[in-house]
Structure 1
Amino acid sequence: MNEKIAITPDTHTEPPARFSHGVRKGNIVQVAGQVGFLPAVEGQPPTPAGPTLREQTLQTLANVTAVLEAGGASWDDVMMIRVYLTDTDHFAEMNDLYNTFFDEAGLKQAPAARTTVYVGLPAGLLIEIDALAVID
């Protein structure tokens, strides 16, 4: 049986509660919901990349990338992405940023399935993204 391994990239601090930024078991990597915090600075609280959806979306995607890579996966391995937005008016802008990100990523495989839902997040946060990857 494969051991379940917690994933914490160098860019992340330890989670504030009993969960992992990502988990790998066998060839499956689950990335926990990531938000647009800048890379961790020891002794300082997490800081959002900025107040705009653009800044937070790009940083959130970078944070998901960091967890995937630390778990031995890439975006080509991702089967499912869930996007959580705080404002329905942000959907079109997020889609444009998302499409540009993946156009520039040079994926070789079919795009992942995606679900987008609207939620409440802590003050100042506009987006959260999680992902499920299956490594060949």
Structure 2
Amino acid sequence: MRFIETDKAAAAVGPYSQAVDTGALVFVSGQLGLAPGTGEMAPGFAAQTRQALDNLRAILGAAGLGLDAVAVVEVFLTDMGAFPEFNAIYAEFFSGHKPARAVVEVSALPKGGLVEVKCTAAR
């Protein structure tokens, strides 16, 4: 296993790696809407969603992959009412490539986040 870390995405907010590369699969930890470098939460749902997806893309890039390698995405929203807005933004990142996906509502996320996104990519 190889542990992936990049400063082009927000640092982990706990004792875990941004991603783990097993050779065949890359498991990217849940990404919040935190800005790289500052660790500040992006303001509002749309900005947090874009930042979380940008963080995901940066971590995949550090593993030598792109969004087109993503096999499955898991999404956590604190308000399922934001699902249509999430879908619209998500489609900007995953337009032609459509991984399997699950979206669930949760009562809370770390650092007061409104959205968290994680994925598994294949080599």
Taking structure 2 as the reference length, what is the TM-score of the superposition? 0.90
Q: CA deviation at 1:16?
A: 4.0
- Over residues 69-122 of structure 1, what are the superposed CA-to-partner deviations in whole Å (9 max), with x where a residue is unaligned? 11111111110000100001111111111112323xxx5xx4100000111213
- Aligned pairs for 1:56-67 (under 5 A) are 56-67=48-59
- The runs of at least 4 aligned residues of structure 1 exceeding 4 Å deviation read none
Q: Answer yes or no: is the 8 Å Cα contact 1:57–1:97 preserved in 2.
A: yes
Which consecutive unaligned segments of at least 5 residues does structure 1 have?
Answer: none
Q: Answer yes or no: is the 8 Å Cα contact 1:29–1:73 preserved in 2.
A: no
Please give the root-mean-square deviation of Cα atoms over the aligned residues, in Å: 1.6
**Number of aligned residue pairs:** 122
Is the aligned partner of 1:24 residue 2:12?
no
One-letter amino acid matched to 1:25: T
Is the aligned partner of 1:131 residue 2:123?
no
Q: Answer yes or no: is the 8 Å Cα contact 1:24–1:71 preserved in 2.
A: yes
Is the aligned partner of 1:55 residue 2:69?
no
- Aligned pairs for 1:54-93 (under 5 A) are 54-93=46-85
Aligned to 2:103: 116
Is the aligned partner of 1:7 residue 2:4?
yes
Distance across 2 between alignment mates of 1:7 and 1:89 = 33
One-letter amino acid matched to 2:30: G
Q: What secondary structure, in the 3-state scheme, does the structure 2 residue paired with 1:54 have? A: helix
Taking structure 1 as the reference length, what is the TM-score of the superposition? 0.82
Match of 2:31 among 30, 34, 46: 34
Which consecutive unaligned segments of at least 5 residues does structure 2 have?
Answer: none
Percent identity of equivalent pairs: 35
Q: 1:86 to 1:47 in 2, by over 3 A?
A: same
Q: 1:34 to 1:14 in 2, by over 3 A?
A: closer
Q: What secondary structure, in the 3-state scheme, does the structure 1 residue paired with 2:68 have? A: helix
